[in-house]
Amino acid sequence: MRGCAGLPTQKRSEENPLERNPITGHEVAAGTAIEDRSFAIIDALIGTHGHTAEQWPIVRRLIHTSGDPEINPLIQFHPKAVRAGIQALQSGCTILADVKMVQVGLSPRRLAAYGNRVVNYLSDPKVRALAKQEETTLSVQAMRSAWRDGVLDGAIVGVGNAPTALLELIQLMRNEQVRPALIIGMPVGFVSAAESKEALKLGSPVPWMMIEGTKGGSPLVVAAIHALIGLAVEG
């Protein structure tokens, strides 16, 4: 198992029966046991699933986070999504969060593996001023600000709340040729959420992963990124 700069590699031995990565694993045996039991239950409930070996740890984490096995068939991947996410993280990419909840939900301990920073523009006073002036949502202006600051190219973009952020990103890719490394499209809701994901699936020039329909949410974006970090670290 590969280690990261400044962090010891955890060895598999009789002294370390949990065989957990020091970054992504639980710190106590009780937490590991509960998680492992949960994953075993999910494996049994889902059975044959059709996801690849790289995709399944992400899908399983999303089911675990949501408590909803019925989202399994709604979780969709671009064929290059997982590999693109792993490579971007390992290169130290920026993670752009559509809302603060995604930003604060990401574990600093896990982000430290490759020095990934997380940014969010919703609290920027200029974003609020432009949203009022141009009569758009804050999320639209936040995405435009990220583009103007040069944040989008090569970034992982996580959208868990705002369909308008995802739709604006699609427009920026089309009109301004911005190219994130990976888009995690999981906005939740009943107004434009499903439509924004369908637009991503049909029109994105870069890899993506999503939860189709109205389901989604910031915790699921966080779960997906944490799962990707785990895959990246474990090599």
Question: Rounded to an integer, what is the distance from CA 72 to the centroid of its chain?
Answer: 16
Give the whole-angstrom CA distance, residue 39 versus residue 33: 10
CATH assignment of the domain containing 67: 3.40.50.10230
pLDDT in tens, the chain (235 residues): 333 333 333 333 333 333 456 566 666 677 778 888 999 999 999 988 899 999 999 999 999 999 999 999 999 999 999 999 999 999 999 999 999 999 999 999 999 999 999 999 999 999 999 999 999 999 999 999 999 999 999 999 999 999 999 999 999 999 999 999 999 999 999 999 999 999 999 999 999 999 999 999 999 999 999 999 999 998 7
Q: Which positions are annotated as active-site residues?
A: 64
- Is 164 a member of any domain? yes
- Is 112 a member of any domain? yes
- Is 187 a member of any domain? yes
**Containing domain of residue 109, as a range?**
29-234
- Is 10 a member of any domain? no
The structure's pTM equals: 0.88
- Is 12 a member of any domain? no
Give the whole-angstrom CA distance, residue 225 versus residue 96: 11
Give the whole-angstrom CA distance, residue 40 versus residue 190: 32
Q: Based on the structure, what is the number of domains in the chain?
A: 1
Give the whole-angstrom CA distance, residue 196 versus residue 205: 15
- Is 221 a member of any domain? yes
